[in-house]
Amino acid sequence: MSERDYSGLIIYIDGEYVPWDDAKVHVFSPVVKYGAAVFEGIRGYWNDDKKKLYLFRLREHMERMELSQRIMRFERIVPAQELMDATVELMRRNKFESSVHIRPTVYVGGDGESYARGPLGSFITAVRRGTPKKVVDGSRAQISSWRRISDSVMPARAKSNANYNNSRYAGLQAQRDGYDSAILLNDRGKVSEGQGMCLFIVRNGVAITPSITSDILESITRDTVIELLQEQGIKVEQREVDRSEFFAASEAFFCGTGAEITPIINVDGDPIGDGKRGPLTERLQNLYFDIAFERIEDTKGWLTEI
Ligand code: PMP
């Protein structure tokens, strides 16, 4: 079945479970007029041997959405637990037998202007989605001439819908110039992140990632990667990263719910290392997928079994 075939799928909206075509918000609402909403992207991994779906770090995603709502000064906070329960129920109702991408949103409805703080609504969509081939082949990235939004303009730490026009510009530029992806510097000229994904470089066996004050989204996959690397005895540094450090790196990779762990094999036309997926990246990918698909035991409580 095509991933874009949504027929028969159920959506959660404002306390109800409705057919795909029946989930509606009004065109005059602040979410439509100004992008006044926050959201998450969550993956569920289907283990075909066990015939089970495993949601990856559901709680952490919903807790981050609480933070996003606070930063957006919503009139109340739709709690993580409410959205977790609704997500689990949505998975049951959709009876998925494939990997999925889940997208919960809390939005400003009503008829207000851009500063309206409510009334709030929430919805959750879930569609079938597997892992794209670029996870093995790697991505050829461009350093964008568009800068990452700064904390003093539009807090990058909030996963708010309107923020995504920033990576849209960078993505369109990269696409037009023949690259696979974009890397954004922040307003201080330091490396921030990719389009909807964080990044690591490897220098002399040390994994280095821009700090959480580099105008990144505080990525859950980044957190996962840090923990897994440290457990493997690999030193991790979270600090400012200079653009020229890509020339010094033996490996680099993007990480994120959508990107999973994607090798960066080239930046601005110059290969990273030998221009192929590096050994540390490959090892990390294998471990990440073994955990996500529950091929090894979930000792960290990262998975929600459906
Ligand atoms: N940065 C941005 C802007 C993102 O949208 C995402 C995807 N949520 C990430 C980084 C990666 O975050 P996570 O690992 O939590 O998916």
Evaluate: CB of 219 within 6 angstroms of ligand 1.
yes
Evaluate: CB of 166 within 6 angstroms of ligand 1.
no
229 neighbors 236 (Cβ within 8 angstroms): yes
CA angle 41, 43, 48 (to 5 degrees): 165
Identify the active-site residue in 159, 190, 276, 300. Answer: 159
- How much is the pLDDT for 18? 98
Atom 3 (ligand 1) nearest CA: 196
Residue 259 Cα to ligand 1 midpoint, Å, equals 9
- How much is the pLDDT for 136? 83
Q: How far apart are CA 20 and CA 11, in angstroms?
A: 6
CA angle 173, 174, 177 (to 5 degrees): 85
CA distance readout (Å), 209 to 41, 179, 217: 21, 22, 12
265 neighbors 271 (Cβ within 8 angstroms): yes
User: Under the phi-then-psi rule, with left for phi > 0, alpha for psi from -120 to 50, and beta for the rest, what region is 229?
Assistant: alpha
Evaluate: CB of 196 within 6 angstroms of ligand 1.
yes
- How much is the pLDDT for 105? 99
Residue 197 Cα to ligand 1 midpoint, Å, equals 5
Ligand 1 binding pocket mutation candidate from 221, 227, 284 (most atoms within 8 A of CB) = 221
Q: How far apart are CA 184 and CA 161, in angstroms?
A: 18
Evaluate: CB of 257 within 6 angstroms of ligand 1.
yes
- How much is the pLDDT for 11? 98
Evaluate: CB of 197 within 6 angstroms of ligand 1.
yes
127 neighbors 100 (Cβ within 8 angstroms): yes
Evaluate: CB of 41 within 6 angstroms of ligand 1.
yes
Atom of ligand 1 nearest to the CA of 257: 16
Atom of ligand 1 nearest to the CA of 167: 3
Query: In terms of Cα–Cα distance, which of 267, 102, 119 is closest to 201?
Result: 267
Atom 12 (ligand 1) nearest CA: 219
- How much is the pLDDT for 217? 98
Residue 257 Cα to ligand 1 midpoint, Å, equals 6
Residue 137 Cα to ligand 1 midpoint, Å, equals 21
Atom of ligand 1 nearest to the CA of 164: 3
Q: Is 159 a catalytic residue?
A: yes
- pLDDT tens series, the chain, 306 aa: 789 999 999 999 999 999 999 999 999 999 999 999 999 999 999 999 999 999 999 999 999 999 999 999 999 999 999 999 999 999 999 999 999 999 999 999 999 999 999 999 999 999 999 988 778 889 999 999 999 999 999 999 999 999 999 999 999 999 999 999 999 999 999 999 999 999 999 999 999 999 999 999 999 999 999 999 999 999 999 999 999 999 999 999 999 999 999 999 999 999 999 999 999 999 999 999 999 999 999 999 999 999
- How much is the pLDDT for 69? 98
Q: How far apart are CA 214 and CA 208, in angstroms?
A: 13
- How much is the pLDDT for 135? 83
